[in-house]
């Protein structure tokens, strides 16, 4: 039991990752692998739904940062949704809201991709 789970659901050309538990230096490689799999499959329109994420440290934030440039250069994006206020505060600490699209609800992120 690692305390972290990631589940993937594909909706046409959009892939949504549902993360659950805590994302720290121990579990970040598991999340990194999930995103790497999408990149390898050339699925670059990604939403990460954080509704069940209870904790994140810089190791978790580093995963988002490690992929964003590559994914955007391929015409995709990493959009974030449904984060709790506790998790949002950590993202906010490093200025993530200026660099990432963060939505209250996953459907808003889906709409944004579909209308682009």
Partner 1 sequence: MTLNKIKKKLQFDSKTSNLVKIRDFVSNLAGKAGFDEDNINKIELAVDEACSNVVKHAYPSGSDYKIDINIEFDDKKFVVRVQDQGKGFNPTELGTPDIKTYLEKREVGGLGIHMMKELMDQVEFNIHPNKKNQVTLTKFK
Chain residues in the site for partner 1 (CB under 8 A): 3, 22, 24-26, 55, 57-59, 61-62, 65, 68-69, 86, 89-90, 93-96, 99
Quote the least distance from Cβ 109 to partner 1, whole Å. 21
Helices and strands, counts by H and E, the chain: 4, 5
Let me know: does 47 contact 110? Beta carbons within 8 Å.
Answer: yes
CB of 23 to partner 1, least distance (A): 11
Residue closer to partner 1 (CB basis): 2 or 40: 2
| Sequence-distant (≥ 6) Cβ neighbours of residue 114 within 8 angstroms | 14
């Amino acid at each position: 039991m690692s305390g972290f789970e990631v589940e993937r659901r594909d909706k046409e050309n959009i892939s949504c990752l549902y993360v659950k538990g805590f994302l720290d230096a121990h579990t970040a490689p598991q999340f990194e692998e999930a995103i790497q799999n999408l990149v390898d499959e050339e699925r670059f329109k990604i939403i990460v739904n954080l509704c069940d994420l209870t904790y994140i440290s810089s190791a978790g934030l580093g995963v988002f940062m490690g992929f964003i440039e590559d994914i955007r250069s391929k015409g995709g994006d990493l959009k974030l949704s449904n984060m709790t206020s506790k998790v949002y505060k950590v993202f906010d600490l490093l200025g993530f809201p200026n660099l990432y699209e963060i939505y209250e609800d996953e459907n808003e992120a889906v709409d944004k991709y579909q209308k682009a």
